């Protein structure tokens, strides 16, 4: 069995790490480089840095911040927010990012996934999908969850894979920041229908939730923010607990 990955997520706004609930009520939780270095030291497998207002405000992800991260942090990290063309991705890769995450830009221009995979390799391309449950289906949203689209979660994830995405990062908007557990039913369905890794996001509140997401949800990686930022769970304790539950971690 491949080792399951623990991935702290750092949402960036104005150069600082922030956290909200259901993508709103944002508060500041510190310097992203310092936090990222702490998590790397504690045993995080990867990090994700997302500029959460880049698309909404029409800005590009800060390349300078990525350079700082690359200088200080020795584990793989993914950067997302405001990436809409090959040039954006190239700058981030050159600055030291290991992968890039695209979301709104991929929904609006699916060909971008093909172009990124062709130019940089699928392993470099993470397609993030933010979705909200509706009566009939899971609706894909863009602009940090602000705008609903006509795309449906499972169909869009399948298309992203076919176009060359190397991983899917699925965030349930309904679970985000609630600490009530991940969307395990949907994660399992994604895992069973796709052949690329699934990163689960949205809802982590305790260690049992990670056990559930790796067993019931069949996710390859568990991503969380506030439980790490606010010191509710430490990464060493989490990994020790997972091992006790028979889950393979690094």
List active site positions: 11, 130
Strand 138-142 vs strand 125-133: parallel, antiparallel, or unpaired?
antiparallel
The Cα–Cα gap between 48 and 71 comes to 16
The Cα–Cα gap between 59 and 240 comes to 40
The Cα–Cα gap between 143 and 129 comes to 11
User: How many residues are present in the chain?
Assistant: 250
């Amino acid at each position: 069995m491949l080792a399951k990955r623990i991935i702290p997520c750092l949402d960036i706004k104005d150069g600082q790490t922030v956290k909200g609930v259901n993508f709103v009520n944002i508060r500041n939780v510190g310097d992203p480089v310092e936090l990222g270095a702490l998590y790397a030291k504690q045993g995080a497998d990867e990090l994700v840095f997302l500029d959460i207002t880049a698309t909404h405000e029409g800005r590009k992800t800060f390349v300078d911040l990525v350079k700082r991260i690359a200088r200080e942090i020795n584990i793989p990290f993914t950067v997302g927010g405001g990436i809409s063309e090959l040039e954006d991705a190239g700058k981030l890769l050159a600055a030291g990012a290991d992968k890039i995450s695209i979301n709104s830009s991929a929904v609006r221009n699916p060909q971008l996934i093909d172009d990124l995979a062709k130019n940089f390799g699928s392993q470099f391309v993470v397609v993030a999908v933010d979705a909200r449950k509706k009566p009939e289906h899971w609706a894909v949203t863009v602009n940090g969850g602000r705008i609903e689209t006509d795309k449906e979660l499972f169909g869009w994830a399948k298309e992203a894979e076919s176009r060359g995405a190397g991983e899917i990062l699925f965030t349930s908007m309904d679970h985000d920041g609630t600490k009530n557990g991940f969307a395990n039913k949907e994660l399992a369905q994604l895992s069973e229908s796709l052949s690329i890794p699934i990163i689960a996001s949205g809802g982590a509140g305790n260690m049992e939730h990670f056990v559930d997401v790796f067993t019931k949800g069949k996710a390859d990686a568990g991503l969380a923010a506030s439980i790490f930022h606010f010191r509710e769970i430490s990464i060493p304790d989490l990994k020790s607990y997972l091992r006790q539950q028979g889950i393979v971690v690094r």
